[in-house]
């Protein structure tokens, strides 16, 4: 079973695997590649992502699951090693480290770091739309990459805000509260992350959403954790070949989280 760890707990070898997996996925221009998965969140249309609905947590859990599998497949092909695997880390933006330094060091801008920015593989028409309506979200030139404009680190969400969400009595209440926290982090990172149509092209998107999925997991195993409404359980989570019921248990999806927060 894969273990999703805090970015603060990854060792050198795990960072190398993650960077190599993203690099390998960047190079694929078909439905196995990074551009395909990033595009499912917004552009190119049709967009499938769920925001402001009770499907928010559910759809994004499926999204992370299938993207994580794609990363592992890309890394295996690149290395010719069928045994290697990669798990998406989670960025704990409530930690003391984040409130001092902001973005995780492994995603910081550094020469040649594939986690610092992701390629935005859109056609000319969509690129023109992004540049016209979302100035500053992507770089200039014919091969644009994502851009960030993070706020002051101490403006990131605090643990007490998360604790308030974890006390929510129903799935709908919890989803609404956590989505609000989620939105604030997207806005804090700025640039591409602040715009739904291209947010998933930024590699830090996946670490942010892994944190959101982890919070849902923590709520699920708490005394308050309950399933979504029964009428929703057999709802399909397009374009994924799974239903709501099939994404409720992370162990059945083949991964788990460490419960303890790592600063």
Q: How many CA atoms lie within 13 A of 130 on its CB side?
A: 31
How confident is the model at residue 259, as a pLDDT? 66
pLDDT tens for 50-63 read: 999 999 999 999 99
Residue pair 20/75 in contact (Cβ under 8 Å)? The answer is yes
Which SS3 state, helix, strand or coil, does residue 229 take?
coil
130 CB neighbour count, 10 Å cutoff:
22
pTM: 0.97
Phi-psi region of 254 (alpha: psi -120 to 50; beta: other; left: phi over 0): left
How confident is the model at residue 263, as a pLDDT? 39
214 φ, ψ (degrees, to nearest 5): -65, -40
Distance in angstroms (rounded) separating the CA atoms of residues 32 and 37: 8
pLDDT in tens, the chain (263 residues): 699 999 999 999 999 999 999 999 999 999 999 999 999 999 999 999 999 999 999 999 999 999 999 999 999 999 999 999 999 999 999 999 999 999 999 998 877 899 999 999 999 999 999 999 999 999 999 899 999 999 999 999 999 999 999 999 999 999 999 999 999 999 999 999 999 999 999 999 999 999 999 999 999 999 999 999 999 999 999 999 999 999 999 999 999 997 654 43
Considering only the C-alpha atoms of the chain, give the largest distance between any 2 of them, rounded to a whole number of Å. Answer: 52
Domains for the chain: give ranges and CATH numbers: 2-257 (1.10.1280.10)
């Amino acid at each position: 079973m894969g273990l999703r760890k805090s970015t603060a707990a990854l060792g050198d070898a795990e960072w190398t695997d993650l960077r190599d997996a993203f690099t390998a996925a960047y190079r694929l221009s078909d439905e196995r590649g990074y551009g395909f998965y990033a595009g499912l969140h917004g552009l190119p249309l049709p967009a499938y992502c769920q925001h402001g609905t009770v499907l928010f947590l559910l759809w994004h859990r499926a999204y992370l699951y299938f993207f994580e599998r794609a990363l592992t497949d890309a890394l295996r092909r690149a290395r010719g090693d069928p045994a290697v695997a990669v798990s998406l880390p989670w960025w704990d933006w409530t930690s003391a480290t984040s409130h001092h330094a902001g973005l995780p060091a492994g995603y910081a801008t550094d020469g040649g770091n594939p986690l610092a920015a992701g390629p935005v593989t859109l056609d000319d028409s969509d690129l023109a739309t992004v540049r016209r309506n979302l100035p500053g979200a992507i770089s200039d030139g014919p091969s644009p990459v994502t851009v960030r404009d993070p706020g002051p680190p101490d403006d990131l969400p605090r643990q007490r805000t998360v604790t308030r969400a974890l006390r929510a009595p129903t799935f709908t209440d919890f989803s609404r509260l956590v989505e609000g926290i989620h939105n604030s982090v997207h806005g804090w990172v700025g640039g591409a992350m602040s715009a739904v149509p291209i947010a998933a092209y930024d590699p830090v998107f996946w670490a942010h959403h892994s944190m959101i999925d982890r919070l849902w997991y923590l709520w699920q195993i708490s005394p308050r954790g309950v399933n979504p409404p029964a009428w929703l359980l057999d709802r399909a989570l397009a374009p994924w070949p799974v239903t709501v019921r099939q994404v409720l248990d992370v162990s059945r999806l083949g991964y788990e989280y460490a419960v303890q927060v790592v600063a």
